[in-house]
A and B are shown apart, each in its own frame.
Chain A
Amino acid sequence: MIKRKIIKLGIAIVAVALVQAVLLFIHRHLPGNERFREYARKENVNMNALFYSEEGHTSHAARDLRSKVEACKAGE
């Protein structure tokens, strides 16, 4: 019984690893993927961020944008 369970777990792990490998293969062959990865790495983006407060760039980006608009308004 225990042996069967362990074999089942082993098969499941291999299956997950295979699915992951296939997904990675597809992702790497998406048009523009290399450039996308390069930009994400350069900007040091947290790709796992689920919410804006987890990603360092969002607040900076919003602040910079506001500064731009305010600077333009002040210049008018």
Chain B
Amino acid sequence: MKNILRSEDIWALLIGGALILFGLLIFFVLPYNDIREKNERLTADLEKEEQHPYKTVDWYHWSDAAARLSSGQTTAGKRVREILATPEKWQFNPLISLYKEAQPEADIDKQQLSGLERKARDLHGEVISRGDKAGTDVVRKAENASSQWYTAHEAAEKAKKSGASYNLFRSLPVLALLLGILFAVGAYFMKTGFLSFLKGFAGVFSLSVLAFILGGQRDISSMGFGYPLWGIVLGMLISNTTGTPSWLQPAVKTEYYIKTGLVLLGAEILFGKILSIGLPGLFVAWIVTPIVLVVTYWFGQKVLKITSRSLNITISADMSVCGVSAAIATAAASGASREELTLAVGLSMIFTSVMMVVLPGFINLVGMPEVLGGAWIGGTIDATGAVVAAGAFLGETALQVAATIKMIQNMLIGVIAFFVAYYFTRNSGENSATGSRLRLNELWLRFPKFIIGFVGASVLVSLLYHMAGDHMGEALVDRGLIRSFTKDLRGWLFCLAFVSIGLSVNIRELRSRFSGGKPLVLYACGQALNLLLTLGIAYLMFYIVFPEITEQL
């Protein structure tokens, strides 16, 4: 038992599992009845409004309320969200990322808005009193008035949202203390020492806040260089110049944070959400990705002869699946070193930064159809944010196709991490050298246990989502548990991990891993194959095999 409690894997599983259960209690179990009642009421109101031949003001109201319904809006949910908040974006003043006072609302907008609403309601009253059907002049006028009001209402809501106040100087110390204590308990059992961990954690957490702030600068953020890169850079600046101070060392625990973060990431992989564009999207994401992954890995081993298999698989997964998050998962599953993960993350961010601008530009230049362009972008650009922005560059449909394909591709992370862990466990150490077969209990001992939490969390939350139904699932799981809890918490854990990586990476060691540019060649060749194969399969699926689906998009 004592030995089990000394394992980082087990503590990642325990802490990650406990956090997910806490999240489920706050965002799923406790608000369930209240959200169900609200959902039923909204559905009934919407059905009533749908009897009219156009979208009325009330229809927009109820529709918006249904789309916003979330268990993150309860008192407890709001409090948790406040504590987990990450620094905001800023342009010139970095203080804005931590503190902002509420902006006064513009009165003129309010007056204009209520005028538009009154006009729309009056016209709707006229339609009802005359009993007009679709196609008449009054109906058209009422429809236009409702739509005009909604456009103005949306703009006002957006302005209200951007004018909201926040004060992270209050929430960050609370978060640091809570996370510090939680991880210090595990550190105590792992013989690091409770208080020395807490002391070091304060330093690592402060550097993480700084990494978030640097990654939130609008120009830097628009290049796709977020907190992962800044966490590594800040850590490396310290470790390779002044040296990592000894008081910080106890909390420099990369795998501890990464594995806990990955258990939380498991809760965000919802299997029920993938069938939006049916078979063509599935083929593009699920056929091309494993082929590119395996071929790139083979190319790295057999042609480039990269000596580290874990570096090879981390770069191959990073390039073929979804960039940084896939790199983190496969690096943890294959036991890659911090230098190897740093290389993979750096390569992914630099290639993404160029591809996200050049690829949509090229698609526009050659006049490629939107659906094909969107599928190509979704299947090849690494980071999710970059995919959405590059898709938006082409148009609404391209954005939808690109984002959906990326989403389907993201689902593969769990499956790939599981098989990578199994493959590396089976072929690791002396057994792979002698060629003898591993016994089952030995396989279990070497297997990274956090993968069980990662896959288990995904299965559990996907099941709950499915059982709650689409509308309730979105309100309780998607907008509640995930968007109000796991996503921010996981962001903090990954940021702590990246700072820890930087604090323990040696620049000479990193240079030696680069071994004559082989990782760069591996990434470039793999990406070239990815580009060609994705384009070919996307064309085949969307235009030859399933053209009827493409016509509907």
* Distance to closest chain B CB from A63 (angstroms): 7
A58 and B384 within 8 A (CB): yes
B241 and A9 within 8 A (CB): yes
* Distance to closest chain B CB from A70 (angstroms): 9
- Chain B CB count within 10 A is highest, among A13, A24, A27, for A27
For residue B358, CB closer than 8 A to chain A, the reply is yes
What residues on A are CB-neighbors of B553 within 8 Å?
Answer: 65, 68-69
For residue B532, CB closer than 8 A to chain A, the reply is no
What residues on A are CB-neighbors of B494 within 8 Å?
Answer: 50
What residues on B are CB-neighbors of A49 within 8 Å?
Answer: 383-385, 388
For window 1-37 of chain A, which residues contact chain B by CB distance below 8 Å? 5-6, 8-9, 12-13, 16, 20, 23-24, 27, 30-33, 35-37
For window 511-553 of chain B, which residues contact chain A by CB distance below 8 Å? 549, 551-553
A72 and B552 within 8 A (CB): yes
For residue B300, CB closer than 8 A to chain A, the reply is no
For window 22-76 of chain A, which residues contact chain B by CB distance below 8 Å? 23-24, 27, 30-33, 35-37, 39-43, 45-55, 57-59, 61-66, 68-69, 72-73
Q: What is the interface size of chain B, counting residues whose CB is below 8 A from a CB of the partner?
A: 69
What residues on A are CB-neighbors of B410 within 8 Å?
Answer: 51-52
B400-413 interface code vs A (CB 8 A; 1 in, 0 out): 11111011001000
Majority secondary structure of chain B interface residues (helix, strand, loop or mixed): helix
For residue B224, CB closer than 8 A to chain A, the reply is yes
A-B pair count, CB < 8 Å, reads 174
For window 269-319 of chain B, which residues contact chain A by CB distance below 8 Å? 273, 275-278
A40 and B392 within 8 A (CB): yes
For the complex, give the distance between the alpha carbons of A32 and B399 in Å: 17
* Distance to closest chain A CB from B359 (angstroms): 10
With beta carbons under 8 angstroms apart, the residue of A20, A32, A43 that contacts B360 is A32
For residue B237, CB closer than 8 A to chain A, the reply is yes
Minimum CB distance partner of B214 in chain A: A20
For the complex, give the distance between the alpha carbons of A3 and B518 in Å: 38
22 intermolecular pairs with C-beta atoms under 8 Å apart: A8-B242, A12-B241, A24-B219, A30-B354, A30-B358, A31-B357, A32-B360, A35-B393, A36-B390, A42-B392, A43-B389, A49-B388, A50-B323, A50-B384, A50-B385, A52-B268, A53-B486, A55-B385, A57-B388, A59-B478, A61-B402, A69-B553
| Residue positions of A touching B, CB distance < 8 A | 5-6, 8-9, 12-13, 16, 20, 23-24, 27, 30-33, 35-37, 39-43, 45-55, 57-59, 61-66, 68-69, 72-73
